[in-house]
Amino acid sequence: MLSFSKYQGLGNDFLIVEGRQGQLPHAISDPDPAWVQRICDRRFGVGGDGLILALPPQADGDLRMRILNADGSEAEMCGNGIRCLARYLADTDGDAPGSSWDIETLAGIIRPELMADGQLRVDMGPPFLTSEGIPTSLMPEDGVPQGVLLLEGEQLKVAAVGMGNPHVVVPVDDLASIPFDAWGAALEVHPAFPAKTNVHFLQVHSRERLEIRVWERGAGPTLACGTGACATLVAAVLLGLADDCAEVVLPGGPLMIEWRDRNGSVLMTGPAEAVFDGVLTPDLVPADSTTASISAAPASPPAATAAAEFDCSKDCADQCQRPDHCLRDEAQQKVQAFLSNTSLDSMLNLASESLEQRTKARFERGTP
């Protein structure tokens, strides 16, 4: 059985799968893009802008986050996604305001903190402002890569910023009057951005209030993008359009973004909320994932032991190093015994009871 939790941040919604104890099989922890597309499909799957996997750390973090876009591609980072993951961690583990987590991402360690009002404040790290770091073929001018791109006969002045993932910011006079879908789709795959890019059209209402529409790389139009809001403020500051602390209004709602130290981190503050918990039906679970227990059983990682430090997937890559005491075989035997002796109805009941207990505990704690 594969349990999941659905969370959203300003309407940017994600399926979160628990795997911090290393319980996910390879088919889930390193999923096929076609499977991600299927479960993120809003008509034939659960529906979501992406899939978030909470995994054991590989370095010095508390955990590792993998985020897959709705098209199956992997993103380096996602601001709304990491707020949703932090909210999930707080809800699941019962963490109080003031709690923070060092989360490993492809963009480095990102540190969200749970605030007293239930919002999440995230240290997003410093922006990337070199052409190579974003990456883009646009050249730096006044501290930010920028230039003019020709698109469908229009000359668009743009600026590029990296937040661990690439962004292009396009100032416009009126968001309502632009051909959003056409420009967004074209800019995402423009040759100036070799890794493709997220696209943000910016209307400046004042130096302290910016409004953007978002075209996300790999997802298309979305209601919000946290890294995009951060990139937008950085670009607006360097273009002389905004102060170093401003409200960035997205279709799903506002985020507060700060960049007070030109050599320091961008700070993002905004909400994230639980939507529902669920269990995927067997036909939605990858066929080769039934040899391991994949029901969500959130808990703090167990104390390190000699056995836990032995990683079959790495240490036994060529051949089994412990044929008389194979951890993988033991785990598979236990799972097979459980599957053989437990009816599908009983499995569904167990999963439902677990999810019901988690949801009840969340509300008993008065979680916002």
Average pLDDT, the chain: 87
The reply to whether 225 belongs to the active site is yes
Percent of the chain residues past pLDDT 70, beyond the cut: 79
Give helix 79-93 / helix 226-238 axis angle, nearest 10°: 140
Retrieve residue 185's tokens: 């789709």
- For residue 129, being part of any structural domain is answered with no
206-259, pLDDT tens digit by residue?
999 999 999 999 999 999 999 999 999 999 999 999 999 999 999 999 999 999
> Residue 316 catalytic?
no
In a domain, 131, yes or no: no
Quick check: is 209 in a domain? yes
Mark which of 264, 294, 329 sits at the end of a domain: 264
pTM score: 0.78
Q: Which residue among 232, 264, 296 closes a domain?
A: 264
CATH number at residue 223: 3.10.310.10
Residue in 349, 298, 302, 252 with CA at minimum distance from that of residue 16: 298
Q: Which of 40, 84, 225, 230 is catalytic?
A: 225
Range of the domain at 149: 139-264
Whether 328 is covered by a domain: the verdict is yes
Q: Which of 40, 78, 84, 230 is catalytic?
A: 78
Same domain membership, residue 116 and residue 41? yes
Dist CA 53 CA 23 (whole Å):
12
Residue-wise pLDDT for 321-343, tens only, equals 655 556 556 656 665 666 677 77
Residues pairing with 274 in the sheet: 7
Query: Which residue in the block uniquely carries the two structure tokens 């961690």?
Result: 89
Average pLDDT (81-109) is 95
